Amino acid sequence: MRPWLLIALLPSAFAQPGGALGTPASIARGDKLFAQGCSVGYCHGAGGSAARSPRLRGRSFERDYLIRVIRNGIPNTAMPAWGDRLTDADINDLSDYIQSLANAPVNVAASPATEAAATPATEKPVDTPDEHRRGRDLFFDLTRESRCSVCHRLNGYGSIVGPDITKVSGLKVTDGPQVLRYGRPRSVRTFVLKDGDRFAAVSVERTASFTRAYDLSATPPVLRNLLNTDVQSIQRQSNWRHGNAVRGYSLEDLQSIWNYVRYAAAKK
Amino acid sequence: MHRLLALFATAVLLPAQDGATRENWPHYGGQTSAWRYSALDQVNASNVNRLTPVWTFQTGDSDGGLQATPIVVDGVMYLSTSHNRIYAIDAVTGGELWSYHFPLPKGFTIFYGPWNRGVAVADGRVFLGTLDNHVVALDAKNGRELWKVNVEDANQCGCNITAAPLVVKGKVVVGVTGGDSAHRGYVNAFDAKTGRHLWRFWTIPGPGEKGHETWTGDSWKFGGGATWMTGSYDAELNLTYWSVGNPAADFWGGNRKGDNLYTDSVVALDLDTGKLKWHHQQVPHDVWDWDTAYENVLLDLPVNGRTRKLLLNVNKGGYTFVVDRANGEFVAAWPLVNNLNWITGVGPKGELLGRNEPVVGKSKVICPSIGGGRSWNQGAWSPKTGMFYSTGIEWCEDVVAVPETPKEGQVYFGGTFKLTHKPLKGDAGGHLGAYDPISGKRAWIYNYKYPLLASVLATAGDLVFTGDADGFFFALDAKSGRKLWSFQTGSGHRGSSITYAVKGRQYVATPTGWGSAVSGLLPQLWPETERLRSGSAVFVFALPEPSK
């Protein structure tokens, strides 16, 4: 048998019933990551001893399954996808640690509390270049009730009230901040209801019996489901300006945002 | 006819402030004063042993159990379940009238569990907060969606809505989860008719606002302060009272030096503007995850010979705080549990004495455990007996504080804990007690081997109802604590029972279905509880109808 073949077979040859494959060092690293991200809060509990989420101690898991679940999460449950927060090496260490628990006693009473790492879990490098960080932070700034992402979705975050701004033709122009302030989106209409309510809105769906439209008169916009019998008229003109939505930003802010959006569009 | 009269007889005897429910159970806590007390007395201590099931409703979704408080208005029960489902049910027959489902985006990660704790119903509309942070309004007649609004992108903020909204005077007031994430909490109000946003109260003041100085650096942006349970409302003062949860990170406060206002506080907000009228902070600079999160019970009682408008709030740390709800002035504080070592006591002005804080890198025993001296399941106030009925939990934890860097919307806990330590006094377990609301003097106690995690219901029939982890729903004598009746519903209790009446017949309804974050902690102390079965159903009981 050639040496390289022997090496390739080693892990399975030494595999324990629970499938523990890790080295003491990788298990220790996994332990720290687990304490930081998995046992915390109300999730898997200290040492995987169960809390709101299932017990991991004393259970066997296929390695492929563990890696897949850690990386992709389980949709529509509390198990998040860690693939964009942890490196492949981290996920391997975590899997080593969880597999090392396969034969551990279910009750953790005997072991002392785990000391978690004092450093945060490894982060993948943020891909926004420094020059566009300011624009990105302003776009998604949760401390502002009125911010771009209340209406626009970008890179998987934000709402879908407004159009995909990376595809807006106006992005080609350079006087972006002026457009953001004075632009008059053509899709905005004036809705007049029979009860006298009158508001700017963007229509989403119109059937024989109802009309669904985003009411733009407040932030965040409200998706209203109106019976057509309650609607007096829908007028093409509107006083609504994009500036209504970006009032909280300075011209300098808008310039940064504009540059960031152009960057994001070009990257797409 | 005489039967109806008997039903309402006690109403006359009630004091001026009336927070009792009658035919309807219109709000999360009964009325907006959160008494969880009904003036109905057809079912009472003398006949409760004849209480019989009349219908049951299976929701079909037992993920996370059933944690809701059903709402009953004019013979229709509105029930929310896990995964954003609502059922309208005929409150007499149990038949389904309509159902509604708010689907989650594909691949969505549900933070803080899939459960929902209730809807609000007012002016012919039903209001729901969703797992992906929307507020939705439906037509109460048919479940047709009227409007919905996305409060914040749940994926970005790591927050969502699990509590029932509070709806009064055409305003939908809604809180938010996120206290264990790097997130900044708030309370929002929306117009009930149009969904338009009316105001937001940030639970952590921003730059330039009073209280901002109680945070260091950028910590205010990620400081938690969730409002994850439903608020109360006083119509006379036009104030809505909300409990603000723990600061984040939960166990480590090294980068948020200061009192961290308004976390661990009760805030009184003007209903019309959302402006802060007063606040009372129970735990400045919390490092134990003690949330001031639970119900605010509004009650009028004499203090030193003068009747005062009071507010009672059980803190997760096991202390009950009583303040004047007109101005926030501290009145009293008393412990709900025996195992309590994070402070040595509360001083005459409400100040905490002898703080015992978790330490970085070193395990320390803290009592009660993170699950709380009580969980969020609510107590009940009976003006008839003058007692506040509440569950309590005896348990401790080993905790280690860990410095942590916040990442927006992600878990920000600052420590690890284990519920392995034996209690310092007696055995671990739960109890239900009857307390004088101001002195905390206990009239009686009912002990149970595990924590009791269902809300308490008190009635003018001198009854106190709740349910246990084993699946028993039971009634105690409100005056003595003696068990008078019980019924096995097939799964443990984590929701809130209610009572209502239709056409002169009183019904008692309880959700059943074991689940939730805190129930998930139990196996750390009681391994056998891992096998407790989940479920999700409502059981409804009444006295047998007289034979015709």
Judging contacts by C-beta atoms under 8 Å, the chain B residues touching residue A53 are 520
Q: Between B97 and A185, whose confidence is greater?
A: B97
Cβ <8 Å between A51 and B520: yes
pLDDT band at B548 (very low <50, low <70, confident <90, very high): low
Residue A172 has pLDDT above 80, yes or no: no
A74-78, B414-418, B454-458: segment of lowest average pLDDT = A74-78
Q: Are B203 and B244 in contact (CB under 8 A)?
A: yes
What pLDDT score does B421 carry? 76
Nearest to B109 by CA among B159, B175, B150: B159
Q: Do A73 and B399 lie within an 8 Å CB cutoff?
A: no
Distance of residue B146 Cα from the nearest chain A Cα, in angstroms: 5
Please answer yes or no on whether B420 and A41 come within 8 Å at the CB atom: no
A32 or B480: which leads in pLDDT:
B480
Nearest CB to A116 within list B108, B184, B402: B402
Using one digit for the tens of pLDDT, what is the confidence trace for A211-251?
A: 999 999 999 999 999 999 999 999 999 989 998 889 899 99
CB pair distance less than 8 Å for B521 and A45: yes
Per-residue pLDDT, B478? 98
Question: pLDDT band at A171, cuts 50/70/90?
Answer: low
- Residue B97 CA to residue B260 CA, distance in Å, equals 47
Instruction: Measure CB to CB from residue A78 to each of B110, B147, B420 and give the nearest one.
Output: B110
Give the residue-averaged pLDDT of B333-352.
Answer: 97
Residue B207's closest chain A neighbor by CA? A143
Choose among A78, A108, A114: nearest Cβ to B113: A78
pLDDT exceeds 90 at position A182 = no
Q: Quick check: A116 pLDDT over 70? A: no
CA angle at B339 for the pair B333 and B341, rounded to the nearest 5° = 75
Instruction: State the pLDDT at residue A15.
Output: 40
Of the candidates A36, A42, A76, which has its C-beta nearest B517's C-beta? Answer: A42
CA nearest to A160 within chain B: B150
What local confidence, expressed as pLDDT, does residue B424 receive? 87
- Domain spanning A14-100, CATH architecture: Orthogonal Bundle (1.10)
- Report which of residues A25 and B58 the model is more confident about: B58
pLDDT single digits (tens) B497-531: 999 999 999 999 999 999 988 888 898 899 899 89
Distance CA B58, CA B62 (A): 9
d(CA A111, CA A109): 6
- Work out the end-to-end distance of chain A between its first and last CA atoms, rounded to an integer number of angstroms: 50
Give how far B299 is from chain A: nearest CA, Å. 33
Task: Give me the pLDDT at residue B231, please.
Answer: 98
Using alpha carbons, select from B293, B440, B432 the residue that is nearest to residue B372. B293
Q: From the list A40, A51, A81, which residue is nearest B411 (CB)? A: A40
CB contact under 8 A, B196 and A116: no
Say yes or no to pLDDT of B23 above 70: yes
φ/ψ region of A27 (left if φ > 0, alpha if ψ in -120 to 50, else beta) reads alpha
pLDDT of A115 reads 39
B528: which chain A residues are within 8 Å (Cβ-Cβ)? none
A251-267 and A130-139 are packed helices; what angle lies between their axes, rounded to 10 degrees? 110
Interface A-B, measured as beta-carbon pairs within 8 A, has a size of 170
Average pLDDT over residues B186-212: 98
Mean pLDDT value of segment B280-293: 97
Q: Please compute the mean of the pLDDT values over residues B463-474 and round it to a whole number.
A: 98
- Contact between B41 and B13 under an 8 Å Cβ cutoff? The reply is no
Query: What is the predicted pLDDT for the residue at A111?
Result: 37
In this prediction, residue B9 has a pLDDT band, given cuts at 50, 70 and 90, of: very low
The distance of A52 to chain B (nearest Cα, Å) reads 4
Over range A41-49, report the average pLDDT: 78
State in Å, rounded, how far the first CA of chain B is from the last one: 16
What percent of chain A is modeled with pLDDT above 70?
81
Inter-residue contact B201 to B186 (CB < 8 Å): yes
| Contacts with B399 from chain A: Cβ below 8 Å | 113
Query: Any idea which residue has 């324990």 for tokens?
Result: A16
Q: What's residue A11's pLDDT?
A: 38
Confidence of residue A122 (pLDDT cuts 50, 70, 90): very low
Residues 6+ apart with CB under 8 A from B421: B365, B396, B397, B398
* Rounded distance between C-alpha atoms, residue B203 and residue B220, angstroms: 10
Best mutation target among A224, A227, A230 (most B Cβ atoms within 10 Å) is A224
Among candidates B112, B196, B416 on the partner chain, residue whose Cβ is nearest the Cβ of A39: B416
The pLDDT value recorded for residue A162 is: 85
For residue B183, is pLDDT > 70?
A: yes
- Which residues of chain B are within 8 Å of residue A140 when distances are taken between CB atoms? 156
Task: Please report the pLDDT score of residue A173 as a whole number.
Answer: 66
Interface mutation vs chain B, best among A32, A39, A42, most B CBs within 10 Å: A42
Stretch B232-260: mean pLDDT, rounded?
Answer: 97
pLDDT at A160: 87
Q: Within an 8 Å CB–CB cutoff, is residue A145 touching chain B? A: yes
At B325, is the secondary structure helix, strand, or coil?
coil
Identify the three-state secondary structure at position A225.
strand
- Cβ pair A218:B221 closer than 8 A: no
pLDDT band at A47 (very low <50, low <70, confident <90, very high): confident
Question: Which chain B residue has the Cα nearest residue A111?
Answer: B420
B154–chain A nearest CA distance, Å:
9
Contact of A49 with chain B, judged by CB distance below 8 Å, is answered with yes
Angle at B239 between CA B236 and CA B244, to 5 degrees: 150
B346 min Cα distance to partner chain A (Å): 28
Average pLDDT of the segment spanning A171-190: 82
| A182/chain B closest Cα distance in angstroms | 24
For chain B, what percent of residues have pLDDT higher than 70?
97
Domain ranges of chain A: 14-100, 130-183+243-267, 188-240
CA distance B223 to B52: 49
- Which residue of chain B has the CA closest to A144? B206
Pull the structure tokens for residue B165: 């909204």
Strand order in the sheet with B276-281: B232-234, B239-244, B265-270, B276-281
Residues on chain A touching B197 (C-beta within 8 angstroms): 145, 218-220, 222
Contact B184 A73 (CB under 8 A): no
The domains found in chain B, sorted by start residue, are 2-542 (2.140.10.10)
**H or E, element range at B55:** strand B52-58
- The reply to whether residue A224 touches residue B221, judged by beta carbons under 8 angstroms, is no
- Give yes or no for a cis peptide into B45 (omega within 30° of 0): no
Mean pLDDT over the full length of chain A: 80
Which one has a higher pLDDT value, A89 or A117?
A89
Catalytic site residue B132? no
Residue B475 above 70 pLDDT? yes
Q: Are A130-183+243-267 and A188-240 the same fold in CATH?
A: no
More confident residue, A4 or A217: A217
* 3-state DSSP percent of chain B in helix, strand and coil, to 5: 5, 40, 55
**B378 or A22: which carries more pLDDT confidence?**
B378
**Residue among A49, A80, A117 whose CB faces B109 most closely:** A80
At B17, the pLDDT band (50, 70, 90 cuts) reads confident
Report pLDDT for B468: 98
Q: Which chain A residues touch B407 with a CB distance below 8 Å?
A: 120, 123
Kindly write down the DSSP assignment for every residue of B312-324, as one continuous string.
EEE-TTSEEEEEE
The tally of CA atoms less than 13 A away on the side-chain side of residue B266 is 33
Other beta carbons less than 10 A from residue A174's beta carbon: 10
What is the pLDDT at residue A102? 87
Is the per-residue pLDDT at B30 higher than 90? yes
Question: In this predicted structure, what is the pLDDT of residue B278?
Answer: 98
Instruction: Count CA atoms within 13 Å of residue A44 on its CB side.
Output: 20
ipTM confidence: 0.91
Q: Is A224 on the interface with B (CB under 8 A)?
A: yes
H or E segment and range at residue A72: helix A63-72
Which residues does A167 contact at the CB level (< 8 Å), separation at least 6?
A265
CB atoms A157 and B155 under 8 Å: yes
Neighbouring residues of B28: CB distance < 8 A, sequence distance ≥ 6: B34, B69, B71, B117, B118, B120, B163, B164, B166, B230
CA distance B512 to B493: 5
- Containing B333, the helix (H) or strand (E) segment is strand B330-335
User: How much is the pLDDT for B1?
Assistant: 39
- Write out chain A residues lying below 8 Å of B150, CB-based: 159, 220
Closest partner CB to A159 (pick from B153, B399, B411): B153
B113 interaction partners in chain A (CB closer than 8 Å): 42, 52, 78
Please report which confidence band the pLDDT of residue A107 belongs to, taking 50, 70 and 90 as the band edges: low
pLDDT at position B298? 98
What share of chain A has pLDDT > 90, as a percent?
37
Q: For the residues B228-253, what does the mean pLDDT come to? A: 97
Tell me if A115 and B180 make a contact (CB, 8 A cut-off): no
User: What is the secondary structure of B341-381 as a DSSP string?
Assistant: -S-SEE-TTS-EES----BBTB-EEESS-TT-SS-SS--EE
Q: Is A22 near chain B, with CB under 8 Å?
A: no
List C-alpha distances in Å: B113 to A51, B82, B159. Answer: 12, 9, 11
Residue range A95-102: average pLDDT? 91
Q: Which of B180, B259, B264, B289 is catalytic?
A: B289
What is the model's pLDDT at position B284? 98
Residue B41 has pLDDT above 70, yes or no: yes
Question: What confidence tier does A4 reach under pLDDT thresholds 50, 70, 90?
Answer: very low
A83 touches chain B (CB under 8 A): no
Task: Find the range with the poorest average confidence among B14-23, B442-451, B522-531.
Answer: B14-23
The region of weakest confidence among A68-72, A124-128, A243-247, B487-491 is A124-128
Say whether pLDDT at B7 is over 70.
Answer: no
Model confidence band, residue A108 (pLDDT cutoffs 50, 70, 90): low
* A188-240 is classed CATH 2.30.30: yes
- Rounded (10°) CA dihedral B81, A48, B469, B464: -80
Task: Specify whether domain A130-183+243-267 bears CATH 1.10.760.10.
Answer: yes
Q: Looking at beta carbons, which residues of chain A come within 8 Å of B149?
A: 220-223
CA atoms of B25 and B31, how far apart (whole Å): 7
Q: What pLDDT is attached to residue B5?
A: 42
